[in-house]
A = this chain, B = another copy of it.
């Protein structure tokens, strides 16, 4: 394996290959035997579990409850919301039969042709349709509103160019689906969850994101507004990390969900939906990691600190074991997850490389000389800087160091992104900056036609109209027609 570690492609050589290799070598995930699907390995899943726990707490703090809706959706449901089916129905896994039987020719099992379903079922690509078919029975009066449900689930979209975490046929996500009495309340809900996502990305993933609203073309199928958070990868592309949709009354109308108001009127219900997925794992890797492997923000690292003894004799090891034991207890009492690796079947050099690859934020090394001097060697993964620190007070030191690393990773990603954001006013500059991997702020005439032409010619799409950007009018970079404000263009994953 030591050889494998060294073999990691450099980002400067081939960023895309670096990513693909790193996800596998760092034990995050691998291709499954089923085309386009992935196996999330224990180390990768441990990071995803940390994300889940934090997000789930935030959803509950904001008044949401978890529930569970069926995996399979009757085909006819998808046709009920016209725009939704346009955007989604194309690439789905379709269940047509419900039984296998032994092959009469002895060739294993075959599909039983007599067990054909009357109506085909679709493996959910998203659950608006099945959930609104259910909400119809839950909602009669204003007293039944709001409904604030979330589910953690697997979904499938048959991807033609799958990529671990970023685009897989099956992925894990959460999808919130809420029902409200008024338009204002639903819009506020979509914006609130959008903020929850942005805070999570910045505080926990150390991922600077641009908050904004999607263009009509890039909107979720069936939404009136899609709010997005967009991060930047180290090759200067945009990665959509999470979306919250204001769905208006589209799904309520499609599924006939009405409620009786306080004034005894019958009204359609207002809806939102919002989701983040295992794609966040891809965003995390792409934003921070380097040619030595993963760089994990301490708040999401399954192991935050690793302690490695260096010794020649069992006697030396025994002494280090005894010295380190109370320190490990001190870390755990502080809620810091620590691993003491005194396994004798791997050389220290192998261990160093492996923990670098896995992105453990802080490495402590203790040798015979440190024992005498009352010191430890401390290495921080983000900068790979080493220093010698006194053993006394080391737990407090590391606790602060973890905070510092968390902050530093964020600041580094922010500085990088800011260095790669530019305003352009001519189409020539536009094309050049997109080619160089920039986030380009440019004026646009607001039409889907111009958006489509720019995409065709440059592969750049409108990522969003950012909330926190000055709103100055100007002229479209492509047509010269009037524009209300600049929007964010970039190539994307």
Residues in B neighbouring A170, C-beta threshold 8 A: 70-72
A83-101 CB mask vs B (1 if < 8 Å, else 0) is 0010001111111111111
CB contact under 8 A between A66 and B42, given known A76-B108, A96-B111, A108-B76: yes
Residues in B neighbouring A120, C-beta threshold 8 A: 111
Closest partner residue, chain B, to A172 (CB atom): B68
Residues in B neighbouring A79, C-beta threshold 8 A: 108-109
Is A121's beta carbon under 8 Å from chain B?
Answer: yes
Is A396's beta carbon under 8 Å from chain B?
Answer: no
Residues in B neighbouring A109, C-beta threshold 8 A: 75, 78-79, 85, 89
Residues in B neighbouring A123, C-beta threshold 8 A: 71, 95, 123
Q: Is the CB of A99 within 8 A of B66?
A: no
Q: Is the CB of B37 within 8 A of A154?
A: no
Alpha-carbon separation in the docked complex, A123 to B72 (Å): 10
A58-84 CB mask vs B (1 if < 8 Å, else 0) is 000000011111111111111100000
Instruction: Choose one: B33, B70, B101, B345; the contact of A37 (CB below 8 Å).
Output: B70
Residues in B neighbouring A133, C-beta threshold 8 A: 33
Interface residues on A, range: 35 or more
Is A49's beta carbon under 8 Å from chain B?
Answer: yes
Count of chain copies: 2
Q: Is the CB of B111 within 8 A of A94?
A: yes
Q: Is the CB of A65 within 8 A of B37?
A: no
Nearest CB of chain B from residue A17's CB, rounded to whole Å: 20
Residues in B neighbouring A89, C-beta threshold 8 A: 100-102, 109
Q: Is the CB of A67 within 8 A of B94?
A: no
Q: Is the CB of A100 within 8 A of B108?
A: no
Q: Is the CB of A92 within 8 A of B100?
A: yes
Instruction: Choose one: B94, B134, B153; the contact of A39 (CB below 8 Å).
Output: B134
Is A46's beta carbon under 8 Å from chain B?
Answer: yes
